[in-house]
Amino acid sequence: MKIVLLGPPGAGKGTQAARLAQDTKYEHLSTGEMLRRAVKSGSEIGIRAESFMKNGGLVPDEVVIGIIEDRLKSDGAEVSHIFDGFPRTVTQAEALEEMLGRIDSGLDRVVYFDVPEEVVVERLSGRRTCSKCGANFHEKFVPPKKENICDKCGGGLYQRDDDKPESIRNRLASYKALTSELIEYYDKKKMLGRVAADREPESIYADLKKTIGLN
């Protein structure tokens, strides 16, 4: 099973993908998280990606496609994947199709998280992320049990550089200019399912499972 979660920044893709991965054997592949790790480690990919990410722009296609390609080659067709934040451009979507074809696999479903812009701005501004395991919290909507401490691993929470107002504006602009056309792209291929994501995490999760045929 290969699933793509599509939607604007802050729609809740990462939150739902993490829950689904916890409840199933699916691997959660977040290109944002992979890139943040690369930046932290100071690798060549991280050095290339850092300035794009900080400003809220997209990292060049060939960099993210390369990361996903390496992972698909090592995991193969048998592993179920939840792609979170990939693809983000038509070039990436075409590359994904080709890469999956090469390992005798294909995409099963694309789930679009439908949520208004004002909601995502509020979610991103209050998001706190674990510096150790990458888990996401929200100071108001999904607070950790202990202030600034991750419930899952005890790591410290921080505010992502790209969750500051100017980067948020740029990320939303990148989404509108380059990523939102994937809604129509996958709709035409009859792969798209929609989930109303302006609700409680629990009901979004129930709908997500229904949309991908899990109950």
Supply the DSSP string of 86-144, one letter for each residue. Answer: ---SHHHHHHHHHHHHHTT----EEEEEE--HHHHHHHHHTEEEETTT--EEESSSS--
Structure tokens at 212: 């991908």
x-or-dash string of contact with ligand AP5, 50-69, rule CB under 6 A? --xx--xxxx----x-----
Question: Regarding beta strands 81-84 and 2-6, do their DSSP bridges make them parallel or antiparallel, or are they unpaired?
Answer: parallel
- The Cα 213–Cα 154 span in angstroms is 34
Residue 146 known to be catalytic? no
> What Cα–Cα distance (Å) separates residue 110 from each residue in 47, 64, 167, 184, 197?
31, 19, 26, 11, 14
What values do phi and psi take at 166, rounded to 5?
A: -70, -40
Residue nearer to ligand AP5 on the CB measure, 53 or 105: 53
Identify which range of 26-34, 37-45, 101-109, 185-193 contacts ligand AP5 by CB under 6 A: 26-34
Query: Does 123 contact ligand AP5 by CB under 6 A?
Result: yes
Which residues pair with residue 158 across a beta bridge?
129
> What Cα–Cα distance (Å) separates residue 114 from each residue in 11, 49, 136, 208, 211?
7, 27, 19, 12, 13
Query: Does 136 contact ligand AP5 by CB under 6 A?
Result: yes
Residue nearer to ligand AP5 on the CB measure, 15 or 105: 15
Query: Does 81 contact ligand AP5 by CB under 6 A?
Result: no
Query: Does 138 contact ligand AP5 by CB under 6 A?
Result: yes
Residue nearer to ligand AP5 on the CB measure, 77 or 206: 206
Position with the least CB separation from ligand AP5: 32
How near is the Cβ of 123 to ligand AP5 at its closest, in Å? Answer: 3
Identify which range of 3-11, 69-77, 104-112, 181-189 contacts ligand AP5 by CB under 6 A: 3-11
Query: Does 93 contact ligand AP5 by CB under 6 A?
Result: no
Count of residues near ligand AP5 by CB under 6 A = 36
Catalytic residue among 2, 13, 123, 128: 13
Catalytic residue annotation: 13, 88, 127, 160, 171
